[in-house]
């Protein structure tokens, strides 16, 4: 999973504190999976958690990720106490509804509005998206109704209007239970977080855009003012809500910030449909360029080519995801790393080196290059800066390369084993289903009897296998693409080999079964000596097909002949010759012709170059290869390097291997 800014800790005995101080979902935000995993680990380390304090300062984000977080907290056995510290907007307000108690800061904000989305396609696609948004709105409205008791009609008006509440207003409207006092101070929020909303009241804009001077407190004066009714909130029954007296803070006019400058420059380039991103990045990266000088540079470039015009409406509607630079960098790097991926025609980053991509990622977020004295420092900032997308771009490429290595590795065990799923790391049992009693005659009017599969149950348990690799600052500066290809692909191949090693070790190490005997033993009647030949292949088939379970004839048919590479040629000759190669009379028919599919495996040579194994066909239980929750691909986790200057990646896979039934195998020893 991509790294995000989730923080969760034990605040006291049996009390956990969860900080949702970020957007919801996406590559950069808070996810339900991370919260669930951290709560599980915290309980394993610290014991019971009776109370979860959820502190929220979030502009919202992904709807379904937010719903998952809401349900996760709502269903938790602990008491959930939500604190709205700064802002609970959009999906942040839905998550707040999970609290058994909701406390909001006296100057904190709470906002509800309609869900929105982008759509590309024909008219039916757009209608489908509109229907989906209506369904999502209805679902969110139900959540608000349970807390506030408002009617669907009242909430529809509030959500359509994008309604904001502050402190006591949220309590009065039923969205919170109580207000807590906070120190008199100015709050700060990135402009792009406010720009996503359509109808931010002036009160909210002035409140969140107030900035404190770093290293000193803002000059403030306090005055008593009546709290106005919530923005666009209709008064119940036509009567205005009573005014409340609160403390407000008046700050001196805020000075333009670096983010204000970047927003202004982006606005200059916005009408030209991303056709001049190269110049945009250049302007953003130079701290001396203002909005006005950026406009002059753009006009100078346009003068030699074309003139700005209002873009025409396309036949197909498209709403971008707001991550132009991220998507551009990702496509450009994919095109350099993977031969089957082409750079988009208008992608201005397709000729960039890794170092230039790191600089572009920082510049897009308004980070001045002058703050870093050398290239090492600049690349380090691209890795570690909280708003930089560079690390996420690298993680995405590394993950795709790893999966390609996993998918492209030629492993033979997948042809004859059975894939399974386990939900935890406890010892589990598997009951063999190769045998089942024959059906009994049921006389007229008599009851049916129960069939059983006995008490034999093979054990299987998951284990985690993994290793780490790193992408260093030096590799970025040297524009070394091998760190995105050979290393992750090699780790993906290693994951596949690890599972293969476990499978074939089950055969060569002669694993113990639940009955106390080894997989291959005289008691199991599945061992032959004398090496691989036509006669032994025929005997092995006979042993397998004549196994019984009580009075039941199992008639297990062979499907695969596993041989070391040293016997590959002999095995093919034995299985595919028309005549019996061991007979002098060449017209004698081959009794084992095409009885099984031959698979040669080098791991068997390491144990014995003369021992082969006859394995049952696909309809029978042989060996189960189980993965955690059925995820058969390895996972990639990322963190900022501590022992290296760069980013560290961990490749891991959770797998368990166990034989299910000895009657599905016959060993032919040399």
For residue 90, indicate whether it is catalytic: yes
Q: Which positions ≥6 away from 504 have C-beta within 8 Å?
A: 413, 601, 603, 604
Half-sphere exposure of 90 (CA within 13 A, CB side): 23
Query: How many angstroms separate the CA atoms of 70 and 76, rounded?
Result: 10
What tokens were used for 140? 């969110």
Q: Which positions ≥6 away from 619 have C-beta within 8 Å?
A: none
Cβ atoms within 10 Å, residue 334: 19
Query: How many angstroms separate the CA atoms of 444 and 436, rounded?
Result: 24
**Active-site entry in 58, 81, 93, 113:** 113
Which residue's entry shows tokens 């959820």? 54
For 624, counting Cβ atoms within 10 Å of its Cβ (0-12 exposed, 13-18 middle, 19+ buried), the class is buried
First to last CA, the chain: 48
Strands (E), 447-581: 457-460, 463-472, 527-528, 548-549, 552-553, 558-563
9 DSSP β-pair partners: 17
Query: How many angstroms separate the CA atoms of 7 and 85, rounded?
Result: 15
3-state secondary structure of 27: coil
Cβ atoms within 10 Å, residue 58: 27
Query: How many angstroms separate the CA atoms of 614 and 563, rounded?
Result: 9
What tokens were used for 223? 């005055």
Express the helix, strand and coil content of the chain in percent, nearest 5 each.
Answer: 35, 20, 40
For residue 570, indicate whether it is catalytic: no
Query: How many angstroms separate the CA atoms of 660 and 428, rounded?
Result: 12
Is residue 103 within 8 Å of 56, Cβ to Cβ? Answer: no
Q: Which positions ≥6 away from 415 have C-beta within 8 Å?
A: 560, 597, 599
For 605, counting Cβ atoms within 10 Å of its Cβ (0-12 exposed, 13-18 middle, 19+ buried), the class is middle
Query: How many angstroms separate the CA atoms of 532 and 667, rounded?
Result: 10
DSSP letters, 276-330, are THHHHHHHHH-TT--HHHHHHHHHHHHHTT----PPPPPSS-----S-HHHHHHH
**Active-site entry in 58, 90, 173, 612:** 90
Counted residue by residue, the chain has a size of 670
**277-285 and 324-337 helices, crossing angle to 10°:** 110
Is residue 60 within 8 Å of 91, Cβ to Cβ? Answer: yes
DSSP letters, 604-669, are HHHH-TT-EEEEE-TTS--EEEEEETT--S-EEEEEE-SSSSEEEEEEEEEEEEEE--GGGEEEE-
Pick the closest to residue 460 from 521, 497, 418, 413 (CA basis): 418
Tell whether the torsion through CA atoms of 138, 140, 141 and 143 is positive or negative. positive
Query: How many angstroms separate the CA atoms of 376 and 382, rounded?
Result: 10
- Active-site annotation, residues: 90, 113
């Amino acid at each position: 999973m991509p790294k995000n800014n989730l923080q969760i800790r034990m605040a006291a005995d049996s009390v956990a504190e969860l900080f949702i101080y970020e957007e919801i979902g996406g590559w950069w935000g808070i996810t339900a999976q991370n919260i669930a995993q951290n709560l599980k680990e915290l309980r394993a380390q610290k014991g019971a958690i009776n109370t979860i304090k959820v502190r929220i300062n979030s502009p919202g984000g992904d709807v379904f990720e937010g719903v998952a977080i809401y349900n996760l907290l709502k269903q938790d056995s602990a008491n959930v106490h939500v604190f709205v510290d700064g802002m609970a907007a959009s999906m942040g307000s839905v998550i707040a509804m999970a609290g058994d108690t909701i406390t909001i800061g006296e100057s904190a904000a709470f906002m509800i509005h309609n869900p929105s989305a982008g759509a590309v396609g024909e008219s039916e696609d757009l209608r489908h998206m509109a229907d989906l948004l209506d369904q999502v709105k209805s679902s969110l409205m139900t959540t608000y109704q349970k807390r506030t008791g408002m009617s669907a009609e009242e909430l529809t008006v509030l959500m359509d209007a994008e309604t904001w509440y502050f402190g006591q207003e949220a309590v009065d409207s039923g969205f919170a239970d109580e207000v807590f006092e906070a120190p008199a101070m100015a709050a700060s929020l990135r402009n792009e977080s406010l720009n996503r909303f359509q109808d931010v009241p002036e009160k909210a804009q002035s409140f969140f855009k107030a900035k404190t001077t770093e290293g000193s407190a803002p000059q403030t004066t306090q005055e008593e003012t009546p709290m106005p009714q919530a923005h666009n909130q209709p008064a119940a029954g036509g009567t205005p809500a009573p005014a409340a007296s609160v403390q407000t803070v008046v700050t001196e006019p805020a000075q333009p910030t670096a983010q204000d400058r970047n927003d202004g420059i982006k606005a200059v380039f916005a009408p030209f449909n991303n056709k001049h991103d190269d110049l945009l990045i250049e302007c953003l990266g130079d701290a001396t360029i203002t909005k006005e000088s950026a406009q002059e540079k753009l006009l100078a470039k346009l003068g030699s080519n074309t003139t700005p015009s209002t873009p025409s409406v396309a036949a197909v509607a498209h709403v971008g995801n707001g991550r132009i630079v991220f998507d551009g960098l990702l496509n450009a790097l994919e095109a350099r790393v993977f031969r089957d991926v082409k750079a988009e025609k208008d992608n201005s980053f397709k000729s960039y080196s890794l170092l230039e991509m790191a600089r572009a990622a920082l510049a897009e977020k308004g980070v001045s290059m002058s703050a870093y004295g050398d290239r090492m420092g600049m690349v380090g900032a691209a890795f570690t800066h909280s708003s930089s997308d560079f690390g996420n771009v690298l993680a995405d490429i590394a993950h795709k390369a790893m999966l390609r290595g996993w998918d492209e590795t030629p492993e033979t065990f997948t042809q004859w084993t059975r894939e399974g799923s386990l939900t935890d790391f406890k010892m589990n049992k598997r009951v063999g289903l190769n045998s089942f009693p024959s059906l009994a005659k049921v006389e007229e009017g008599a009851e049916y009897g129960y069939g059983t599969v006995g008490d034999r149950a093979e054990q299987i348990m998951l284990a985690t296998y993994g290793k780490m690799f790193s992408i260093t600052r030096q590799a970025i500066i040297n524009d070394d693409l091998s760190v995105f290809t050979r290393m992750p692909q090699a780790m993906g191949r290693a994951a596949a080999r690890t599972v293969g090693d476990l499978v074939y070790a089950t055969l060569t190490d002669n694993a113990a079964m639940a009955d106390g005997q080894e997989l291959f033993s005289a008691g199991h009647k599945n061992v032959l000596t004398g090496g691989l030949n036509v006669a032994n292949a025929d005997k092995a088939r006979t042993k397998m097909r004549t196994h019984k379970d009580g009075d039941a004839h199992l008639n297990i048919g062979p499907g695969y002949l596993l041989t070391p590479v040293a016997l590959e040629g002999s095995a093919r000759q034995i299985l595919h010759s028309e005549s019996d190669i061991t007979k002098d009379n060449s017209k004698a028919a081959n009794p084992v012709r095409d009885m099984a599919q031959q698979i040669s495996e080098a791991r068997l040579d390491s144990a014995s170059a003369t021992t082969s194994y006859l394995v049952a066909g696909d309809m029978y239980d042989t060996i189960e290869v189980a993965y955690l929750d059925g995820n058969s691909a390895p996972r990639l986790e990322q963190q900022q390097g501590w022992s290296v200057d760069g980013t560290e990646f961990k490749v891991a896979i959770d797998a368990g291997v166990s034989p299910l039934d000895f009657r599905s195998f016959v060993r032919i020893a040399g």
